[in-house]
Copies of this chain bind each other. A is one copy, B any other.
């Protein structure tokens, strides 16, 4: 249940990575853009068509290497509703190809409004008795600042749809400490730790088969000490680890995120994979091949450090 399907994919492919699909126009080869603009115009529709074509090429090239993709909602919303349509189509295509899809939306609200987000991103939408899938990802990143009122509505949908969430605990950015590192007076532990503790509690409603619940936590690769601390403190909480590669974290930095079976975490890389063709300086037509080569390099670097990944049953 919950994040188990992600863990099974990681184990099967022996690769604990997720490819971030954050498609900026500047990452997309000129021939894809030219074709999209010719068909739809040089406008939001044309840009969205380019995003989708680029993503499909990446998904085709990555789907037997990585277990999961993580589209970042902001890069689609930026292109208005056509971009958001491209997000829905990207999710559907990735699922067709057997990938676990994490929508990175960092959504947060309360009660009926959070129920609407849960239906939108993980569940189904009722239109007077008929059900439709709006976005239909397998997991969603969420922000827990509003407390249990903002998380409970998600848990219900996760249980129904075999989906999961990742709650921001310690994010990878330089200023994450402004609030997240503040020591709380009553508990004498930092806010990120208190957020992690709540992930343990919320997760009890979504038990999994492999020791981890359906409530994961986001913990940045750029803070290896906190990664190690939280891995120890949150034995039932699976980690989504951003900040590998371009943001500065390496295989050694993310090693503390994993348990002794090589499980317990999935590491995200976005730009390094998306822009591999620019860094390799290869033919633009080979952008997906370059992404695949970079994904293999990342897998091999992580697996060299981890040895292997097994699932305790």
Contacts and interface: CB of A to CB of B under 8 A. Distances in A.
Interface of A: 22, 24-25, 33, 37, 42-44, 46-47, 72, 74-75, 77-85, 87-88, 106-114, 116-117, 119-121, 125, 127-128, 130, 132-135, 143-150, 168, 171-180, 182-188, 191, 194-195, 198
A272 to B, nearest CB: 14
Contact of A173 (B133, B147, B180): B147
B125 A44 contact: yes
Given A74-B113, A78-B125, A176 B149 contact: yes
Contact of A74 (B78, B114, B176): B114
Given A22-B113, A106-B107, A106-B108, A195 B176 contact: no
A37 B178 CA distance: 49
A132 B80 CA distance: 9
28 contacts: A24-B116, A42-B127, A43-B130, A74-B116, A74-B120, A75-B116, A77-B84, A77-B121, A77-B135, A78-B116, A78-B134, A79-B127, A79-B134, A80-B125, A81-B81, A108-B143, A110-B172, A111-B173, A145-B145, A145-B168, A145-B179, A145-B180, A147-B173, A150-B173, A179-B194, A179-B195, A183-B185, A191-B191
Contacts of A79: 120, 125, 127, 134
